[in-house]
Amino acid sequence: VLQIREVTVGLLGCGVVGSALAELIHAEEKEIAASAGVKLNITKALVRDTEKDRNGLKKKLSFTKELEEVFKDKELDVVVELLGGEETALAAVKKGLEAGRNVVTANKLILSAHGEELNQLANRNGCSLAYEASVASCIPVLQSLDVTLAAENFHAVTGILNGTTNFILSQMERGNLPYGEALALAQQKGLAETDPSLDVSGQDAAHKLVILARKAFNISLTPADIPTAGITNVSAEDLRFAAHFGCTVKLLAVARKRNGKLEARVAPHLVPTGHTFASINDESNAVVLEGEAVGKLLFAGPGAGALPTARAVLGDILSIVTGERACIPGRKALNLAKIPLASPEETRSRYYLRVAFNDQPHVLAQVTCILDACGVEVHRVEALGLGQGNIVILTHPATEAAVSASLAELAELDFLTERPKAFPIFDEPQSN
């Protein structure tokens, strides 16, 4: 007869993900006992507002506003941090690890900024810190990096790492919803961060890229190392013009080693419609890992949302309490190497560049003259758009520095109707 072990879980946060997790633990009690031999008991759930209606969860869970209430349980086995934000969440995770409690979190913000310290803390205190849900929700990419691919030599990690922005771009591209309504729907669906500016500014994707790159390349990195642009600058016209060139627009996070340096960025990219990333739509995410032995590995699936994320959190809890996953982060998370970052002068890409203007003569000549002076070579140029003039240029490979300089100069022209913009065109990494 299978012995069922009682496991005490302290739940910090009972919002979109926390409440889905609590529901799963209750609904699947028998399955969890049968497969893992444990019964998970959520003793207390920390929330801001204990008066809030919680869709029947109040009958099953005891809520508190006091962190101490959760920690005072001497039997506490696992602390699950699903608060979001930085300060309180970081303090709670540290408190858990310092007390030798195992911690599961989905908080990429604290992991990207403080992950190295938290991994050290877990290691020193002999407890586990697991965070599969922090990157691409239930797509098991971190576990793959930690376990199956632990010894691989990777040279590139590329992905669509934010469900909210991918959802918004997909809605805009299909002509279903404009930007603002698509964002509101993403929030309603529980995809967006509590502060959605983290999603649309590209920061959330940058946080995830830091976590992935640390594991894949065994390097020390922070979000400040990653030049980051979001999707607020992508208009319906850009999506139409991209389609004219056989491309779609995706917010990509790219980190690759080239000439002994790390090139990393988060930015909207033009992606050819035949490329795998072009078919990753709505809140789906995709990650491509490129390594010496494994070649290209594609991971794709739901990248945000209550249930997929809660499923990944539950998986981490069960792997810790059953001891099936070596979560003590001794591998690829400690003693990280420093790697020089490629400068804007060293980072090259082809670009889509758009200048919107009030119709008048010699516009094209002025634009191409500026590009030429900045060292940006034109590959293809077209005048597009109804009513308002647009010069859309696809460049030959140019440095990020040259493109930034040309954008600054173009912005000085007096016939513009919008600030000029440039998005990289995604080419398969040519790394070494």
Residues designated as active site: 208
CA distance 89 to 109: 10
Binding segment for ligand NAP (CB under 6 A), chosen from 83-91, 251-259, 369-377, 395-403, is 83-91
Stretch that binds ligand NAP, among 11-19, 141-149, 179-187, 336-344 (CB under 6 A): 11-19
Binding partner of residue 399 among ligand NAP, ligand HSE, none, CB under 5 to 8 Å per kind?
A: none
In the bound state with ligand NAP, the residue whose beta carbon lies nearer, of 46 and 270, is: 46
How far is the C-alpha of 428 from the C-alpha of 191, rounded, in Å? 29
User: Which of ligand NAP, ligand HSE, none does residue 49 bind to, with CB < 5 to 8 Å depending on kind?
Assistant: ligand NAP
Q: Is 107 in the site for ligand NAP (CB under 6 A)?
A: yes
d(CA 209, CA 265): 9
The answer to whether residue 85 forms part of the interface with ligand NAP (CB under 6 A) is yes
211 near 37, Cβ under 8 Å?
no
Cβ(216)–Cβ(145) below 8 Å: yes
Please give the Cα distance from 179 to 172 (Å, whole number): 6
Minimum CB separation of residue 235 from ligand NAP in Å reads 26
Does 309 bind ligand NAP (CB under 6 A)? Our answer is yes
Residue 414 phi/psi, 5° resolution?
-95, 5
Residues constituting the chain: 432
Token pair listed for 229: 């642009």
For residue 67, CA distances in Å to 92, 187, 188, 205, 314 come to 8, 27, 28, 29, 21
**The binder of ligand NAP chosen from 3, 30, 49, 180 (CB under 6 A):** 49
Task: Give backbone dihedrals phi and psi of 198, rounded to 5 degrees, phi first.
Answer: -65, -35
- Strands 76-81, 5-12: pairing kind: parallel
Q: Taking the complex as a whole, how short is the minimal distance between the CB of residue 69 and ligand NAP, in angstroms?
A: 11
* Helix intervals (H) in 49-202: 57-60, 67-71, 87-98, 108-124, 141-146, 163-173, 179-188, 197-200
Name the one range near ligand HSE by CB under 6 A: 156-164, 361-369, 373-381, 422-430.
156-164
Nearer to ligand HSE (CB atom), residue 229 or residue 392: 229
- Greatest alpha-carbon pair distance for the chain in Å reads 86
In the stretch 130-149, what mask flags binding to ligand HSE with x, by CB under 6 A?
-------x------------
* Minimum distance from residue 193 beta carbon to ligand HSE (Å): 5
Type of residue at 55? N
Q: Which does 355 bind (CB under 5 to 8 A by kind): ligand NAP, ligand HSE, none?
A: none
DSSP state of 303: -
CA distance 288 to 293: 14
Which residues does residue 264 pair with via DSSP β-bridges, in sequence order?
255
Helix axes 363-374, 400-410, angle to 10 degrees: 140
102, 105, 107, 162: residue in contact with ligand HSE (rule CB under 6 A): 162
| Burial of 324 from C-beta contacts in 10 A (0-12 / 13-18 / 19+) | exposed
Q: Draw the binding track, 180-209, toward ligand HSE (x: CB under 6 A; -: no contact).
A: -----------xxx-----x----x-----
**Which residue has its beta carbon closest to ligand NAP?**
15
Region binding ligand HSE by CB under 6 A among candidate stretches 26-34, 158-166, 175-183, 264-272 = 158-166
**Site map (CB under 6 A) of ligand HSE, residues 301-330, x = contact:** --xx--------------------------
Residue 48 touching ligand NAP (CB under 6 A): yes
Where along the sequence are the contacts to ligand NAP (CB under 6 A)? Answer: 13-18, 46-49, 52, 82-85, 88, 106-107, 133, 137, 190-191, 193-194, 304-305, 309
Residues forming contacts to ligand HSE in the complex (CB under 6 A) are 137, 162-164, 191-193, 199, 204, 303-304
